[in-house]
Amino acid sequence: MSSITTSDAPRGFSASEYMTCLTGIVWREGLRFLHQRERFVSALVRPLVWLFIFAAGFRQVLGISIIPPYETYILYEVFIAPGLMAMIQLFNGMQSSLSMVYDREMGNMRTLLVSPLPRGFLLFCKLLAGTAVSLLQVYAFLLIAWFWDITPPLSGYLTVLPALILSGLMLGSLGMLISSGIKQLENFAGVMNFVIFPMFFASSALYPVWRVQEGSPYLYYLCAANPFTHAVELIRFALYGQVNWISLAVVAACTIVFMIGAILAYDPSRGWRGADLREAKDEGSDPGCHGNCAVLHGRARPIRAILTGPTPRPRCRRFRWRPSGPARRSTRPRSR
Amino acid sequence: MTSPAPIAEPRETPRPDPAAVPALSIDGVSHSYGPRRALMDVSFKVQPASFTALLGLNGAGKSTLFSLVTRLFGIQSGGVGIFGHDISSSSGEALRLLGVVFQPRTLDLDLSLTQNLLYHAALHGIGRREATTRSAELLGRIGLSERAGSKVRDLSGGQMRRLEIARALLHRPRLLLLDEPTVGLDVKARADIISHVRQLVTEQGIGVLWATHLFDEIMSSDDLVVLHQGKVLAQGPMSRVITDAGAQDVNTAFMRLTGAQTMPGGGA
């Protein structure tokens, strides 16, 4: 062990220390991901349901004319594939960010944040690690989609990578910013209703925006202003080896703004007291309960009761209450 | 401990002798969660190569204090220094010298012992080769070498704690913080961990701050800080705290000290 000689002069951190830290965080996130097969499967099933069922049913309804980057008439499945790739990243970004802010990952966040490196850098690494996980999911989706006749040029698989990294970072930091900033959105149901669905539907993921414009100019403006639209378009063009410069600019700018905002707004004492109460009764993190379940653990709030109806059933032992008695609805005293 | 003055006396602010910079100095720290005040003007010091027990019941403010010292929470008022480095202004240098074992387990259960250690090393910017050497060495020291590749999930509670302590030592800190590290462990595992940490103090000169509510973990040679409802009620060598309280043992001393402050029914 080291001697007790003091070298108290501040020595800062070298670039290699930063790099070691970054790769270490991404490496760990990757390892954890490999151990969470349910999370992987559910992340894949969601877009595949859209692809196999929704798109198959919808292709007769919606004709797609030839719009860039496509050079021929395309099937509806081909059109929505980039939107679904972005959707994977949207869900992943929201889930991992929410668990960073709220209690489930608090133990891991403590370990992370006592690192001597600057906190902003640590959070950036964590966002990048979340993005790396979303890349694995997206490429797995692309692999399956290939058998479903979604066959972009082979080079597209490579050119789409930078676009995916940027959009993943944007969505992850947006998730972190939202979960730090809006107290009511501390459970995943709230985020689904107020963030994921509006962003997804008011975008070019499912329909080209020019068709939206024919129907409702206001919705068109909304779509055009939605950063998610630009993430989708960035991915769509990149998948065919092209750059949509406007989307690139919007996504890059949003990434920077969201990330700075998220880092400034991040406050570990948030969701902390609840976490301490729970963790005090817990023996480490729960084996059967991973990222997906994580976000369901927010304390029940009136807003969730109103919006999502019945509360989700307990899925792991960290859930301290369970529905009981004949009246299934009420699990906690309503009076406030 | 240089001058372990009871909190009631006016606190002197001596020029820190560079040769004897305290491992940890908490200086007038207050913290509140909204209207609830968790810490009120807390001051004490932990010297290098000393074992300081932070004694307090649940809710005394121990965990809040740990969160402040580890930079998890921003300092609201007062100051925290680790070997003279202020935790707010030069947190990087301060945290480099600090190892911490939190009360809730913070290991990755699905990762192997070595993987957990390597991750921690990476967080401190320690390169892979060096990290591998140190992990192997530390695993040997805690007697878990042959389990290096197995999942943390398969370890017993005591082994997990030992691993967490090893992890906290990986970057060779000179101050070690432990927040109720023996909670939930059996008698033998507790004794193992206590003797391991005491060994670190005597052999490696690490300053240790050990938060606990278990009186039997404290020895008469230890320094003691009694924290109750966010205030430091007494501090100094254990024998002196006991004498000052007019008690025979630490248990009685603690009850006497806190008794005056405890609301009826709110005590131990």
In a 13 Å sphere around the CA of A66, the CA atoms on its Cβ side amount to 3
Q: Please check whether residue B119 touches A, CB under 8 A.
A: yes
A289 within some domain? no
Residues B53/B217, Cβ–Cβ less than 8 Å = yes
| % of chain A beyond a pLDDT of 90 | 43
Q: Does A285 touch chain B (CB under 8 A)?
A: yes
**Bond into B173 cis (ω within 30):** no
- Other C-beta atoms lying within 10 Å of the C-beta of residue A248: 18
Do B235 and B222 share a structural domain? yes
Instruction: State the pLDDT at residue A104.
Output: 54
Q: Is the CB of A35 inside 8 Å of chain B's CB atoms? A: yes
Write down which residue in B152, B172, B192 finishes a domain. B172
Note whether residue B2 is domain-resident. Answer: no
**What confidence tier does A324 reach under pLDDT thresholds 50, 70, 90?**
very low
Cβ pair B58, B38 in contact under 8 A: no
Sign of torsion, CA A73 A79 A82 A85?
A: negative
List all residues of chain A from 66 to 125 with a beta carbon under 8 Å from chain B: 106-108, 110-119, 122
> Which ipTM was obtained for this model?
0.83
pLDDT at A181: 75
Contact check, Cβ <8 Å, A113/B72? yes
Number of folded domains that form chain A: 1
Q: Is residue B167 located within the same domain as residue B179? A: no
User: Do B122 and B184 sit in the same domain of this protein?
Assistant: no
* Residues A171-190: tens digit of each pLDDT: 999 998 888 877 766 677 77
Domain that holds residue B165: 107-172
CATH number for position B239? 3.40.50.300
Looking at the structure, do residues B152 and B251 belong to the same domain, yes or no? no
Q: What is the pLDDT of residues A21-49, one digit of tens each?
A: 999 999 998 898 888 888 888 889 999 99
* Most confident residue range from A72-76, A309-313, B68-72, B115-119: B115-119
B90 and B112: one domain? no
In a domain, A125, yes or no: yes
Does residue B58 sit within a domain? Answer: yes
Would you say residue B13 lies in a domain? no
pLDDT for residue B141 = 87
Where are the alpha helices (H) located in A227-288, listed in sequence order?
A: 227-239, 245-265, 272-280
Contacts of residue B126 in chain A, CB cutoff 8 Å?
A: 20
Determine the pLDDT at residue A186: 67
Indicate whether B121 and B197 sit together in one domain: no
Cα–Cα distance, A98 to A153 (Å, whole number): 35
Residue A103 scores a pLDDT above 70: no
Residues B222-263: tens digit of each pLDDT: 999 999 999 999 899 988 888 888 888 888 888 888 875 544
3-state SS, residue A293: helix
Give me the residue from B100, B125, B127 closest to A114, CB to CB: B100
- Two structure tokens written together for A244: 């949509």
Helix (H) or strand (E) holding A167: helix A154-181
Q: B103, A279: Cβ pair inside 8 Å?
A: yes
Nearest to A117 among B100, B107, B125 (CB): B125
Indicate the residue among B172, B196, B224 that finishes a domain: B172
Q: Write down the pLDDT at residue A49.
A: 92
Single residue among B157, B172, B187 that ends a domain in this structure: B172
Tell me, yes or no, whether B90 and B194 share the same domain: yes
Contacting B residues, span 129-168, partner chain A, CB-CB under 8 Å? 153, 157, 160
pLDDT tens, residue by residue, B11-37: 444 444 555 789 999 999 999 888 888
Q: Are B91 and B111 in a shared domain?
A: no
Instruction: Tell me the mean pLDDT in the region A81-106.
Output: 84
B236, β-bridge pairs: B224
What would the mean pLDDT of B123-146 be, rounded to a whole number? Answer: 92
Is the same domain home to B89 and B197? yes
pLDDT above 90 (res A106) = no
Query: Of A10, A20, A31, which has the smallest distance from its Cβ to B125's Cβ?
Result: A20
User: Minimal Cα–Cα distance from B242 to chain A, Å?
Assistant: 30
Residues B76 and B206 in one domain: yes
Domains in chain B, number? 2
Residue B184 and residue B257 in one domain: yes
As a whole number, mean pLDDT of residues B53-78 equals: 89
- Which tens digits make up the pLDDT trace of A274-300? 444 443 333 333 333 333 333 333 333
Question: Is A101 part of any domain?
Answer: yes
CB B4 within 8 A of CB B237: yes
Q: Do residue B116 and residue B153 come from a single domain?
A: yes
Contacts of A36 in chain B (CB under 8 A): 110
Asked, for residue B85, whether it belongs to a domain, the answer is yes
A32 to B108: CB separation less than 8 angstroms, yes or no: yes
Report chain B's C-alpha Rg in angstroms.
19
Give the pairing of strands B51-55 and B36-46.
unpaired
Closest-CA residue of B relative to A108 is: B106
Sorted by sequence, the CB contacts under 8 Å of residue A259 that are 6+ apart come out as A124, A127, A169, A173
Residues of A in contact with B157 (CB under 8 A): 283
Please name the residues in contact with B140: beta carbons below 8 A apart, sequence gap of 6 or more.
none
A23 in contact with B at a CB cutoff of 8 Å?
yes
Domain carrying residue A75: 37-265
